[in-house]
Amino acid sequence: GAVVSQHPSWVICKSGTSVKIECRSLDFQATTMFWYRQFPKQSLMLMATSNEGSKATYEQGVEKDKFLINHASLTLSTLTVTSAHPEDSSFYICSAWGQGDLNEQFFGPGTRLTVL
């Protein structure tokens, strides 16, 4: 089946630094990718919808200048957490929407971010 990967799997950084998370669709092209944030034992909170070649659409309450999204190709979207703070520590999950016959959403394994 279709696979979505994320890199890194986990990252620890100091407060004030920026962290980039990559989301790749490995064997299919995705015009649309989604970025979620998950709090412990809770729902995935949609942060933004990333469309290839255009600006991302952010959900209400998500700071677009803090969470920079770039969807430069049909197989790669990146989320950069700028000037990270401890409250940004969370589990970030991406998903990709396949094209054509793959008309469904595939989820990545997640990236655990810990900001010290």
Partner 1 sequence: GQNIDQPTEMTATEGAIVQINCTYQTSGFNGLFWYQQHAGEAPTFLSYNVLDGLEEKGRFSSFLSRSKGYSYLLLKELQMKDSASYLCAVMDSNYQLIWGAGTKLIIKP
Interface residues with partner 1 (CB under 8 A) are: 1, 9-10, 34, 36, 41-46, 91, 93, 104-107, 109-110, 112
Q: C-alpha distances in angstroms, 8 versus 1, 67, 90, 93, 100?
A: 22, 16, 13, 11, 29
Residue closer to partner 1, measured from CB, 82 or 112: 112
45 vs 82, beta carbon nearer partner 1: 45
Query: 51 or 82: whose CB is closer to partner 1?
Result: 51
Q: How far is the CB of 103 from partner 1 (least distance, A)?
A: 11
Nearest approach, Cβ of 96 to partner 1 (angstroms)? 12
Report the chain's terminal Cα–Cα distance, integer Å.
Answer: 37
Give the shortest CB-46-to-partner 1 separation in angstroms: 4
User: Distance between CA atoms of 63 and 59, rounded to whole angstroms?
Assistant: 9
Tell me whether strands 111-115 and 10-13 are parallel, antiparallel or unpaired.
Answer: parallel
Q: Which is nearer to partner 1, 14 or 41 (CB)?
A: 41
> What number of helices (H) and strands (E) belong to the chain?
0, 11
